């Protein structure tokens, strides 16, 4: 996904450090096969929000490794049955590669 200046469905949970250079994007995904704990992993230095029913979900856990460009950050969210919007924002990248999988 390419990141650029955008208007988000819900305000990001964290303001970018340098608003003038901020980039972001969002994608709506269909409902997961079943609700539960899901892990979003990204390749860059961006903030990740998960949004369902018009509200930002709190993350349940996260990890990051600044030296790893393949799996820079993982964030876990408890998703309900229904579409989910993932929002990516910050100053770190012009694009993002992500995965979303059930957490083990």
> What residue numbers bound the domain in which 37 lies?
22-102
45: in domain: yes
Q: Are 35 and 79 in contact (CB under 8 A)?
A: yes
Is position 5 within any domain? no
- Contact between 24 and 86 under an 8 Å Cβ cutoff? The reply is no
Q: How far apart are CA 24 and CA 102, in angstroms?
A: 24
pLDDT tens for each residue of 38-59: 999 998 888 999 999 999 999 9
Q: Is residue 9 part of a domain?
A: no
Q: Is 71 part of a structural domain of the chain? A: yes
Give, for all 104 residues of the chain, the pLDDT tens digit: 555 556 788 888 887 776 667 778 899 999 988 999 999 999 888 899 999 999 999 999 988 877 776 788 999 999 999 999 999 988 767 788 999 999 97
Does pTM surpass 0.75? Answer: yes
Count of domains forming the chain: 1
The verdict on residue 83 lying in a domain is: yes
């Amino acid at each position: 996904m390419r990141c650029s200046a955008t208007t988000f469905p819900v305000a990001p949970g964290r303001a970018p450090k340098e608003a003038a250079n901020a980039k972001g994007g969002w994608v709506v995904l269909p409902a997961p096969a079943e609700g539960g704990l899901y892990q979003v992993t990204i390749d860059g230095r961006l903030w990740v929000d998960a949004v369902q029913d018009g509200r930002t979900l709190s993350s349940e856990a996260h990890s990051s490794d600044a030296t790893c460009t393949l799996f820079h950050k993982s964030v876990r969210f408890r998703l309900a049955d229904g579409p989910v919007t993932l929002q990516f924002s910050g100053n770190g990248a012009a694009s993002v590669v992500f995965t979303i999988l059930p957490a083990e």
